[in-house]
Chain A
Amino acid sequence: MNIFLRFGLSFFVSILLFCELSAQQTRTITGKVTQSEDNEVMPGVSVSVKGTTNGTLTDVSGNYSISNVPEKSLLVFSFIGRQTMEVPIGNRATINVQLEPNVTELTQVVITGYKTEQRRDIRGSIATITSDKFKDIPVMGMDQALQGQVAGVQVTQSSGTPGGGISVRVRGSTSISASNRPLFIVDGIPVEDGALGLRDFGGQNDNAFSTINTNDIESIEILKDASAKAIYGSRAANGVVLVTTKRGKSNSRTTIEGDVQRGFIEVVRKPELLNSKELLELQREAVINGGGDPDQLGLIPGVTDAINTDWVDAVLRRAIYQQYQLSARGGNERTRFYTSINYRDEEGVQLNNKFVRFSGTLNLDHKATDKLSFGNNLMISRTRNDRVKGDNFLDGVYSGAIKSLPYYSPYNEQGQLLGPNSPGYPGFPNFNPVGQALLPRFQTFTTKIVAGLTAEYAFLPNLRFRTKVSTDYNGVTDDQFEPSTTAIGGYLPSVGGKGYGIYGSGTYITLNNSNLLTYTFTKGENDKHSFDFLLGNELLQRTERTASVQGRLYPRDEFTYISGAGAIVDDGGSFLVSNGLVSFFGEAKYKFKDKYLFGATARYDGSSRFGRGKRYGVFPSVSAAWRISSEDFMKAYTFFDDLRLKASYGFTGNERIGDFQFLTQFGGSNYNGATGLSPSALGNNNLQWEKTREINVGIETSLWSGRLGVTLDVYSNLTSKLLNTFPLPTTTGFGGFQGNIGSVSNKGVELSVNAVIVDRVIKWRTNFNISHNKNRVESLADSLPLYRGYEASGSSNTNIIKVGEPLGTFWGLQFLGVDPATGDAIYRDNTGDGTISADDAQVIGNAQPKLIGGITNTFSWKNLDLSVFFQFSYGNEILNFSNTTLLNSGQDILNNQSKAALRRWRKEGDITDIPRYQYNPDRSEEDNPNTYMSSRFVEDGSYLRLKNISLGYNVPKEWLSRFKVQSIRVLLSATNLITLTRYTGADPEVSTLDGSTAAQGIDLFTFPQVKTIMAGITVGF
Chain B
Amino acid sequence: MKLSIKKIFLVCFAGWLLTGCQDLLNPKPNNILSADIVLTSPDDVPQVRIGLYNALRSTAALSVVAGDLTADLAIHNGTFTVYNELSNKRILSTNSAAATFWAGVYNVVYIANFIEERLPGLAGVSTTDKNQLLAEARLLRGYAYFIGANTFGGIPLVTTTDVEANSNIGRSSKEEILAFALEDITRAIENLPDTATTGVGYATKHVARAMLARYYLYQSDWVQAEQFATQVINSKQYSLEPNFSTIVAKDFTSESILEVGYTITDDPGTSTYGLNNIFVGRREVIPANSFLLKIFSEESGDRNLTVSFDASKQRGNDNGFSVAKYGTSDEDNNNIVLFRLGEMYLIRAEARARQGKLTGTDGAITDINVLRTRAKANTIVSGSQSDLLTAIENERLYELAFEGHRWYDLVRTGRANTVMTAFSSNWKDTYNVWPVPQTEIQRNPGLRGSQNPGY
Q: Show the binding face of A for B, using Cβ within 8 Å.
A: 1-2, 5, 297, 459, 492-495, 497, 515, 537, 539-541, 553, 568, 570-572, 575-582, 606-608, 615, 659-660, 663-683, 727-735, 782-784, 791, 793, 796, 838, 921-922, 924-927
Given A666-B32, A672-B261 in contact, is the A731-B439 Cβ separation under 8 Å? no
Known interface pairs A494-B276, A582-B25, A679-B35; A671-B50 also in contact (CB < 8 Å): yes
Can you name 16 A-B pairs with beta carbons within 8 Å? A580-B27, A670-B265, A671-B54, A671-B201, A673-B263, A678-B54, A682-B163, A729-B166, A733-B110, A733-B114, A793-B81, A796-B94, A921-B316, A924-B84, A924-B88, A926-B90
Q: What CA separation (Å) do A951 and B374 show in the bound complex?
A: 86
Contact assessment for B47 and A676 in the assembled complex, using a CB-CB cutoff below 8 Å: yes
Is the Cβ of B90 less than 8 Å from the Cβ of A676? no
Please tell me if the beta carbons of A570 and B27 are within 8 angstroms of each other in the complex.
no
Instruction: Give the contacting residue for B167; candidates A493, A580, A675, A732; CB below 8 A.
Output: A732
Which chain A residues lie closer than 8 Å to B44 at the CB level?
677
Contact mask B230-270 → A, CB, 8 Å, 1/0?
00000000000000000000000000000011111111011
The chain B residue sitting closest to A737, CB to CB, is B163
Q: How far is the CA of A553 from the CA of B84 in the complex (A)?
A: 31
A678 to B54, CA, bound (A): 7
- Once the chains bind, are A676 and B81 in contact (CB under 8 Å)? no
Shortest C-beta distance, A795 to chain B (Å), equals 11
- Tell whether A732 pairs with B163 under 8 Å between CB atoms, given A578-B27, A676-B46: yes
Q: Check if B20 is an interface residue, CB within 8 A of chain A.
A: yes
With A493-B280, A666-B32, A676-B51 known as contacts, the answer to whether A570 contacts B264 (CB < 8 A) is: yes
Q: Which residues of B contact A (CB under 8 A)?
A: 2-3, 6, 13, 17, 20-21, 23-27, 29-36, 38, 44, 46-51, 53-55, 57, 75-76, 81, 84-85, 88, 90, 94, 99, 102-103, 106-107, 109-111, 113-114, 156, 158, 161, 163, 166-167, 169, 198-199, 201-202, 260-267, 269-270, 276-277, 280-282, 316-317, 328-330, 332, 439-440, 442-444, 447
Of the candidates A494, A731, A784, A796, the one whose C-beta lies within 8 Å of that of B280 is: A494
A728 is contacted by which of B30, B163, B332 (Cβ under 8 Å)? Answer: B163
Min CB gap B264→A, angstroms: 4
Contact assessment for A730 and B440 in the assembled complex, using a CB-CB cutoff below 8 Å: yes
Cross-chain contact of A570 among B13, B267, B277 (Cβ < 8 A): B267
How far apart sit A163 and B412, CA to CA, in the bound complex (Å)? 59
Q: Considering the complex, give the chain B residue whose CB is closest to the CB of A570.
A: B264
Q: Is the CB of A671 within 8 A of B261?
A: yes
Q: Are A731 and B169 in contact (CB under 8 A)?
A: yes
Contact partners of A733 in chain B: CB under 8 A: 106-107, 109-111, 113-114, 161, 163, 166
Residues from chain A with a CB closer than 8 A to the CB of B198 are 672, 674
Partner of A493, one of B20, B36, B281: B281
Interface centre among A539, A675, A731 (most CB of B within 10 A): A731
Partner of A665, one of B34, B47, B161, B280: B34
Nearest CB on A from B278, distance (A): 9
The answer for the CA separation of A921 and B75 in the assembled complex, in Å, is: 12
Known: A495-B281, A678-B51, A678-B54. Is A539-B156 also a contact (CB below 8 A)?
no
Q: Which residue of B has the minimal Cβ distance to A576?
A: B30
With A671-B54, A676-B50 as known contacts, state yes or no: A731 contacts B33, CB within 8 Å.
no
Q: Which 3 A-B pairs have the closest CB atoms?
A: A676-B50, A494-B281, A733-B110
Q: Which residues of A contact B156 (CB under 8 A)?
A: 731
Chain A, Cβ-Cβ closest to B163: A732
Assembled-state Cα–Cα distance A1003/B11 (Å): 58
A663-B282 contact in complex given A582-B21, A674-B198, A676-B50, C-beta closer than 8 Å: no
**Which residues of A have CB within 8 Å of B46?**
676
Q: Do B24 and A608 touch across chains, with their CB atoms under 8 A apart? A: yes
Give min CB distance, A1004 to chain B, whole Å: 14
Using CB atoms, name the residue of chain B closest to A511: B24
**In the complex the two chains form, what is the Cα distance from A493 to B156 in whole Å?**
41
CA separation between A572 and B263, bound complex, in Å?
Answer: 13
A-B contact count (CB 8 A): 227
Q: Is B26 in contact with A608, judged by CB distance below 8 angstroms?
A: yes
Contact B440 A729, beta carbon cutoff 8 Å: yes
Report yes or no: A677 in contact with B48, Cβ–Cβ below 8 A.
yes
Indicate which residue in B21, B34, B106, B260 contacts A672 across the interface (CB closer than 8 Å). Answer: B260
The answer on a CB contact under 8 Å between B114 and A671 is no
Whether A729 lies near B443 (C-beta < 8 A) is yes
Looking at the complex, which one of A608, A671, A677, A731 makes contact with B57 (CB distance below 8 Å)?
A671
Contact A730 B281 (CB under 8 A): no
Q: With A671-B261, A731-B444 in contact, do A571 and B13 touch (Cβ < 8 Å)?
A: no
Are A297 and B32 interface neighbours, CB within 8 A?
A: no
Are A666 and B33 in contact (CB-based, < 8 A)? yes
Closest Cβ neighbor of A733 among chain B residues: B110
Q: With the chains together, A782 CA to B38 CA distance in Å? A: 31
Whether the pair A791, B24 counts as a contact (CB closer than 8 A) is no
Shortest C-beta distance, B446 to chain A (Å), equals: 8
Cβ B270 vs Cβ A494 within 8 A:
yes
Beyond A494-B281, A553-B330, whether A663 also contacts B29 by CB under 8 A is yes
Minimum distance in angstroms from A301 CB to a CB of chain B = 20
Pair B2/A459 contact, Cβ less than 8 Å: yes
A926 to B91, CA, bound (A): 11
CB pair B443–A727 under 8 Å, yes or no, is yes
CB distance from A650 to the nearest CB of B (A): 24
Enumerate chain B residues within 8 angstroms of A921, measured Cβ to Cβ: 316-317
Q: A494-B270, A670-B266 are in contact. List 8 more A-B contacts (CB 8 A).
A: A494-B282, A607-B25, A664-B35, A672-B199, A673-B261, A729-B167, A730-B106, A731-B169
User: Which residue, of B21, B106, B329, B443, has the highest number of chain A Cβ atoms within 10 A?
Assistant: B443
Contact of A663 among B21, B32, B57 (CB under 8 A): B32
A732 adjacent to B106 (CB under 8 Å): yes
Q: A675: which B residues are within 8 A, CB to CB? A: 47, 50
Write the chain A residue with the least CB distance to B17. A537
Contacts of B166 in A (CB 8 A): 729, 731-733
Question: Residue on A with the closest CB to B88?
Answer: A924
CB A616 to nearest CB in B, in angstroms, measures 9
Q: Which residue of A lies closest to B46 (CB)?
A: A676
Q: Quote the shortest CB–CB distance from B403 to chain A (angstroms).
A: 18
Are B25 and A670 touching (Cβ within 8 A)? no
Q: Known contacts being A495-B270, A670-B265, A671-B201, is A577 close to B33, with CB within 8 Å?
A: no
Complex Cα spacing A595 to B107, Å: 66
Inside 8 A of A540's CB, which chain B residues have their CB?
24
Residues of chain A lying within 8 A (CB to CB) of residue B23:
580
Min Cβ gap A825→B in Å is 20
B residues near A576, Cβ cutoff 8 Å: 30-31
Task: Check A679/B51 contact, CB under 8 A, given A492-B281, A731-B106.
Answer: yes
Q: Within 8 Å CB of B26, what residues of A?
A: 608
From known contacts A729-B167, A731-B167, infer whether A677 and B33 are also in contact, taking CB-CB under 8 Å: yes
Given A580-B24, A677-B38, A728-B163; A493-B329 close (CB under 8 Å) = yes
Query: B280 — which chain A residues lie within 8 A by C-beta?
Result: 493-494
Could you say which of A494, A791, A925 contacts B277, with CB atoms under 8 Å apart? A494
A575 vs B32: C-alpha distance in the bound complex, in angstroms? Answer: 11
Measured CB to CB, the closest approach of chain B to A845, in angstroms, equals 23
Report A-chain residues with C-beta under 8 Å of the C-beta of B84: 924-926
User: Chain B CB within 10 Å — which of A493, A669, A732, A796 has the most?
Assistant: A732
Nearest-CB residue, chain B, relative to A730: B103
- Whether B54 pairs with A731 at a CB distance below 8 angstroms is no
Q: Which of B102, B276, B332 makes the CB contact (< 8 A) with A730?
A: B102
Q: How far is the CB of A523 from chain B (nearest CB, A)?
A: 24
Tell me whether A727 and B264 are in contact in the complex, defined as CB-CB below 8 angstroms, given that A677-B38, A735-B103 are known contacts.
no
Closest A residue by C-beta to B27: A578
Given contacts A665-B35, A666-B51, A667-B31, contact A672 B263 (CB under 8 A): yes
Q: What's the nearest-Cβ distance from chain B to residue A812, in Å?
A: 15
Q: Is the CB of A668 within 8 A of B106?
A: no
Q: With contacts A608-B26, A729-B443, A731-B156 known, is A677 near B51, CB below 8 A?
A: yes
Supposing A660-B29, A729-B166, A735-B103 touch, asked if A674 and B24 sit within 8 A by C-beta, the answer is no
By a CB distance below 8 angstroms, the chain A residues around B53 are 671-672, 676
